[in-house]
Structure 1
């Protein structure tokens, strides 16, 4: 499969409007049904800007081979294609009635399409000057003659992105800089982490970078142009989750966090804390309940709007925790008024627009984000299910999430991957809350006799029944709607319990039991010995060991106290501040119960036998001399 399927050029003349000019290697299949392509490729208000970009998603029909605008799960390929267009506007005296606008598009299923922008800009500039289609053909050849497959097993054709989702999530959750350095400097370590054996061949077109990515060099127009290739692809992630290449990631996120709710409409699925509900919570709830979401800006570029939509997708999916949005939810990064009928067909969507017409027609959307005013508006036509009962107090998970996020962004000069881990943890926690009213039973657990639950206790852990009732009631309507989306496969939760079973089909809700241990008190009745014994029983191989280590990363700290302490002393966040779950394991090296200590030692020894888990455990031990001494003494006695 080529890196890019098609290259398309389009032009805009004030007297003729937008039109397609050239398609290579041949006309796009399905073009007769995509007659609106030129209008979307050349956005509104382009005459105000020298350059811009647009994006929309296409889906290939398995029966006809044609591309279509809406996804159909019955006949479309499972992954979308991205039509990425860069637009240049150059004033030319020959065009007395206006500017000449030209665009260049690539159609690709590579999620890191924005990394082709430098070479596309060079190509479009050359094309502007000469109108020579040979330049377009040269670009197509330059990109497709390179292989962006990271590695290939010479025996069975396995690619690096065939590694399990659990391992991808684990690697992208390990945020400590030493692993970056090890991957960069230690080829043996890098190959083992990525599962590249001696029989495998590293792609000669790629070379390693220090930031968990690869580079390739494109030869175009007698120039060598670097292209950055993400090392790990995650579901529904556009671009690179671990190391965002978009420099606007943080400022755009701050925009969202600083936004206001301007409407006085109350809705039990959105404004769960009344008009004081933080907009980021409203936005998350809107997606978890399948709302129609419109992002609008009249004063900024279409690229500015699209960047915000891509950011929303990045943080709401948690980088692989939640998926299905790119296909089942309906993502329209940029639309115009001619697509109103299409929007009306959709039960849910996330769409961007430059046209202010949409703002005054709230029958078309449930939630609108006005980027110019930085405010959210809830539609007056939105159905309000149930009674408007607003909770007076925020649930502990939302409070913890907001506290850690604000502290990380505004008070601490944190790296972007830590911010993403905060979102990943929160999305995972909220989904567990939404599923806990069903307790992961019924339709969410398949009727499979081979799956054996080792230990009772599944779902989100609450320290008391009173707290559970209060917090479940807060999210009750959201829970019902989210479960419907899950059952109908509109959304996918990738860490649902059956997906976390080991090779013997044994299941244990590690998250639930580690949280119960983390909240143990005199009043709680928890059999710690039984929990650690069953965790040990579960850890039989590399798969289950990586599941365990991933879950330790996904357990959020009880509060942001440790972060505040680090800041107060001008210190860096420690490795244990980033992984409270593993500290919970190590602290039991001092448990008064010898049987528990014995199980902890055996768990640590099992983890050490796995290359990635063992490296992490050794790093944890070396970062705390007391734990290291305790571990060494116990294994030697």
Structure 2
């Protein structure tokens, strides 16, 4: 995403004519060059005249039938969003409104206006569309389109930070509102206000540079420990003031500790000096947005005539924009705060900074899981191994997930429902299947959030389409594999699912032999048909394999956890993080399955356990982690059906082609980091040798900013953050404890690492600070340096505590 490119590519207007039907009235600044009837019908959904307002989302440059001509000269700075032919997906947010008018032939006027953009977060344009369509109702001319076009494109993104993949993963899993605050241009809390800092083109610190912390005195800093804790371990010793100065990238300094016996690490919990920050924000001047007049061709869709237009409603003529990082930091750094000045109305805009390409619009997993909760959803149709991982007890959302990843045709039906409701369910399904856009790709390319009868043949020809419809005729037509009725909470598997998608995997078949946690096929094969066939009698029709159902199935437990989190009002970000974890584990299990069946894998690390032999260098384990061989055999058997279905899809091929590149470009190289963290989290027993090698490998591989963010992105708060690494602080071997202190010191040299360290509980933080400070004192002793009086007091208190514990 470049800051100097257009935010709005087209503005479209459609009207409903009682004689001619839906008509595309205006296209600005030039014609799309595609089927105008198709666009008009997408903008005016069925039943729009019965609703006061409705929203739809659709895409351009998605398939040959909705590719615009000529291709816009958009910058191709994002390879993920660019097709092989160089065209880019355009996302369209559309508002349709019906106004009662007794003078009209049908008693109402129906008009729609749409913005075409290359940003997936199309919801940011809703407020300005509401104003612009009202303006168009009062004065239906293409001048309204020009004003909207100019206003949106004048929106200031110049100071918006561009986060890396790992920064996005960290931000989306945390509720802290000061994450990566130093990446905003207007204010950096780690430098003195008014001091110019070297910035990258995208804003913020260069990825490899370590920002220095802004020094503060002890009176200005806030203790990051609870005040009540400070007096607990002091044994009557008075609390001393702790210095709040953040250190340079070495080991913790004495100023970072209170020396009253409690060894409390202090520092600003938010990473900011509040007084200095507020002063900086208050003195930050608002920058006005100026847009130069641009000549362009404005085409009336109903005629071939065109004329030139200048800029309308330039923001520089109205109120000043408050776009700036200081205001953003005061609110929430998860968003970039800017504004759109339309007709002298300053509309605040919050641009989400952690959005991935498969996350379009306002699709909500919370909404999706609530709509198809097991307690209210009626499941109909045959069981299929690709879809039902737990037989008849498979949760509806898991059935949908399996249908999405195995490339089944999915329709969301909302009879008498708003098109917006249907569209949001389709967009949520894309989030579900892709693991919030973090794990898999290819779902948006086959998604049609609102689909019509006009182009039915075209979108039904897309393999594995995901469509949203409001017309019940689509259910009767039967050109689907899974029907999700959001109005009646039904989920129906098509009766001909086996004819359309033959299932040759049978969980009760003896063709797959699982022994000692290893899956073996009778022959070295690569497809489902070759792996296993459903046993049938000679000359008889294929039988439908039966899938066993268990109440304690992992999928059922997972959905129960999700529904419990929703009932407890956990955020949408938390729900998405759990599905990212679920999808990631599925891919890692699929990688292990593929390796067992074909002998190798192209979508992940090879699977092997930790190995330590006399005379040989120890080798860390790799691949998906299982608690024991029985769990390995059980999960491979459970997932085999949907894995084989997935391996036939374009989604799998996309991951396969990108897998090697992703592994080759990861900042942390040489070992499977996810496997090591899983061992620390879940292993019942780890040998001393493996523990030392795990912590040493991580510590020696984490030095640059990119390596720090990769590590922290795999330690989200909902998985207890740095807790797995903190276990090393209490290891029986001193060498392990020393390595973990080194690692935490490295994290502490980065602002984001400081915030993660602040997430440790008091006991873990105490252990780190005490050991880090003790080592610093030992180093001073070794160098024959004088010991400060404060450190001497700490040693004295420590010796007194030891003598008292010994019964003296």
Tell me the TM-score normalised to structure 1 length: 0.82
Contact 2:369 2:397 in 1 (8 A): no
Q: Structure 1: how far apart are the matches of 2:705 and 2:729?
A: 23
Provide closer, same or farther for how the CA distance between residues 500 and 607 of structure 1 changes in structure 2, counting only shifts above 3 A: farther
Q: Structure 1: how far apart are the matches of 2:170 and 2:766?
A: 26
Q: Aligned residue for 2:170?
A: 170
Q: Structure 1: how far apart are the matches of 2:735 and 2:553?
A: 33
Q: Does 1:585 align with 2:725?
A: yes
Q: Aligned residue for 1:341?
A: 457
Q: Does 1:541 align with 2:704?
A: yes
Contact 1:127 1:135 in 2 (8 A): yes
Contact 1:454 1:506 in 2 (8 A): no
Q: Structure 2: how far apart are the matches of 1:117 and 1:300?
A: 20
- Between 1:533-542 and 1:345-354, the stretch displaced more is 533-542
**Following TM superposition, by how much is the alpha carbon of 1:469 offset from its aligned partner in structure 2, in angstroms?**
1.1
Q: Structure 1: how far apart are the matches of 2:636 and 2:552?
A: 9
Q: Aligned residue for 2:641?
A: 477
**Following TM superposition, by how much is the alpha carbon of 1:459 offset from its aligned partner in structure 2, in angstroms?**
2.2
1:450-489 correspondence to structure 2 within 5 Å: 455-485=619-649, 489=653
Q: Does 1:635 align with 2:645?
A: no
Q: RCO higher in 1 or 2 (8 Å CA, sep ≥ 6)?
A: 2
Q: Structure 1: how far apart are the matches of 2:130 and 2:178?
A: 36
Q: Structure 1: how far apart are the matches of 2:47 and 2:724?
A: 55
- Between 1:591-600 and 1:615-624, the stretch displaced more is 615-624
Provide closer, same or farther for how the CA distance between residues 184 and 346 of structure 1 changes in structure 2, counting only shifts above 3 A: closer
Contact 1:455 1:508 in 2 (8 A): no
Q: Aligned residue for 1:325?
A: 442
Provide closer, same or farther for how the CA distance between residues 350 and 631 of structure 1 changes in structure 2, counting only shifts above 3 A: farther
Structure 2 gaps, min length 5 = 73-80, 204-285, 290-322, 507-544, 607-616, 779-808
**Following TM superposition, by how much is the alpha carbon of 1:107 offset from its aligned partner in structure 2, in angstroms?**
1.1
Q: Does 1:264 align with 2:381?
A: yes
**Following TM superposition, by how much is the alpha carbon of 1:321 offset from its aligned partner in structure 2, in angstroms?**
1.6
**Following TM superposition, by how much is the alpha carbon of 1:424 offset from its aligned partner in structure 2, in angstroms?**
1.9
Tell me the TM-score normalised to structure 2 length: 0.66
3-state DSSP of counterpart to 2:602: helix
Match of 1:22 among 13, 21, 26: 26
Residues 414-447 of structure 1, C-alpha deviations (whole Å, 9 max, x = no match) = 2332222222222222222222213594433699
Q: Structure 2: how far apart are the matches of 1:623 and 1:84?
A: 50
Provide closer, same or farther for how the CA distance between residues 537 and 3 of structure 1 changes in structure 2, counting only shifts above 3 A: same
Provide closer, same or farther for how the CA distance between residues 491 and 35 of structure 1 changes in structure 2, counting only shifts above 3 A: farther
Q: Does 1:37 align with 2:39?
A: yes
- Between 1:122-131 and 1:607-616, the stretch displaced more is 607-616
Q: Structure 2: how far apart are the matches of 1:454 and 1:187?
A: 47
3-state DSSP of counterpart to 1:229: strand
Q: Structure 1: how far apart are the matches of 2:496 and 2:688?
A: 48
Q: Structure 1: how far apart are the matches of 2:666 and 2:476?
A: 55
Match of 1:126 among 128, 131, 135: 135
Q: Structure 2: how far apart are the matches of 1:131 and 1:303?
A: 25
**Following TM superposition, by how much is the alpha carbon of 1:545 offset from its aligned partner in structure 2, in angstroms?**
2.1
Residues 15-59 of structure 1, C-alpha deviations (whole Å, 9 max, x = no match) = 22111111111211x22x454111111000112111111111111
Q: Aligned residue for 2:6?
A: 2
Q: Aligned residue for 2:751?
A: 611
Contact 1:51 1:88 in 2 (8 A): yes
3-state DSSP of counterpart to 2:382: coil
3-state DSSP of counterpart to 1:506: coil
Q: Higher Cα Rg: structure 1 or 2? A: 2
**Following TM superposition, by how much is the alpha carbon of 1:324 offset from its aligned partner in structure 2, in angstroms?**
2.5
Provide closer, same or farther for how the CA distance between residues 263 and 491 of structure 1 changes in structure 2, counting only shifts above 3 A: farther
Residues 214-260 of structure 1, C-alpha deviations (whole Å, 9 max, x = no match) = 22222222322222222344232224xxxx7x8x7744542233552
Q: Aligned residue for 1:155?
A: none
Q: Structure 2: how far apart are the matches of 1:20 and 1:459?
A: 54
Match of 2:589 among 410, 430, 433: 433
1:226-237 correspondence to structure 2 within 5 Å: 226-237=348-359
Q: Structure 2: how far apart are the matches of 1:226 and 1:344?
A: 39
Contact 2:594 2:600 in 1 (8 A): yes
Alignment: residue pair count: 581
Q: Does 1:409 align with 2:411?
A: no
Contact 1:325 1:491 in 2 (8 A): no
- Between 1:376-385 and 1:528-537, the stretch displaced more is 528-537
Match of 1:509 among 672, 681, 691: 672
Match of 1:13 among 17, 20, 23: 17
3-state DSSP of counterpart to 2:170: helix
Match of 1:444 among 586, 589, 603: 603
Q: Aligned residue for 2:89?
A: 80
Provide closer, same or farther for how the CA distance between residues 631 and 257 of structure 1 changes in structure 2, counting only shifts above 3 A: farther
**Following TM superposition, by how much is the alpha carbon of 1:116 offset from its aligned partner in structure 2, in angstroms?**
1.5
Residues 273-319 of structure 1, C-alpha deviations (whole Å, 9 max, x = no match) = 11211011111111121111111101211011111122222344333
Provide closer, same or farther for how the CA distance between residues 397 and 167 of structure 1 changes in structure 2, counting only shifts above 3 A: farther
Residues 174-201 of structure 1, C-alpha deviations (whole Å, 9 max, x = no match) = 3345649999999324999xxx953458
Q: Structure 2: how far apart are the matches of 1:145 and 1:55?
A: 23
Q: Does 1:385 align with 2:503?
A: yes
Q: Structure 2: how far apart are the matches of 1:177 and 1:217?
A: 20
3-state DSSP of counterpart to 2:115: strand
Q: Structure 2: how far apart are the matches of 1:63 and 1:178?
A: 41
Contact 1:183 1:189 in 2 (8 A): no
Q: Structure 1: how far apart are the matches of 2:663 and 2:352?
A: 26
Contact 1:260 1:374 in 2 (8 A): yes
Q: Aligned residue for 1:556?
A: none
Q: Structure 2: how far apart are the matches of 1:267 and 1:136?
A: 50
3-state DSSP of counterpart to 1:218: strand
1:219-258 correspondence to structure 2 within 5 Å: 219-239=341-361, 250-258=366-374
Residues 66-86 of structure 1, C-alpha deviations (whole Å, 9 max, x = no match) = 48xxx9943243x42012210
- Between 1:113-122 and 1:226-235, the stretch displaced more is 226-235
Provide closer, same or farther for how the CA distance between residues 520 and 498 of structure 1 changes in structure 2, counting only shifts above 3 A: farther
Contact 2:434 2:443 in 1 (8 A): no
Q: Structure 1: how far apart are the matches of 2:666 and 2:772?
A: 30
Q: Does 1:369 align with 2:491?
A: no
Provide closer, same or farther for how the CA distance between residues 492 and 2 of structure 1 changes in structure 2, counting only shifts above 3 A: farther
Tell me which protein shows more helix as a share of its residues.
Answer: 1
Provide closer, same or farther for how the CA distance between residues 290 and 88 of structure 1 changes in structure 2, counting only shifts above 3 A: same
Q: Does 1:529 align with 2:702?
A: no
3-state DSSP of counterpart to 1:476: helix
Provide closer, same or farther for how the CA distance between residues 486 and 306 of structure 1 changes in structure 2, counting only shifts above 3 A: closer
Q: Structure 2: how far apart are the matches of 1:83 and 1:63?
A: 13
3-state DSSP of counterpart to 1:620: coil
- Between 1:429-438 and 1:616-625, the stretch displaced more is 616-625
- State the superposition RMSD in angstroms: 3.5
3-state DSSP of counterpart to 2:455: helix
3-state DSSP of counterpart to 2:706: helix
3-state DSSP of counterpart to 2:422: helix
Provide closer, same or farther for how the CA distance between residues 4 and 370 of structure 1 changes in structure 2, counting only shifts above 3 A: same
Tell me which protein shows more strand as a share of its residues.
Answer: 1
Q: Structure 2: how far apart are the matches of 1:141 and 1:457?
A: 56
Provide closer, same or farther for how the CA distance between residues 523 and 75 of structure 1 changes in structure 2, counting only shifts above 3 A: closer
Contact 1:587 1:627 in 2 (8 A): no
Q: Structure 2: how far apart are the matches of 1:497 and 1:50?
A: 51
Q: Structure 2: how far apart are the matches of 1:116 and 1:63?
A: 22
3-state DSSP of counterpart to 1:20: strand
Contact 2:113 2:133 in 1 (8 A): yes
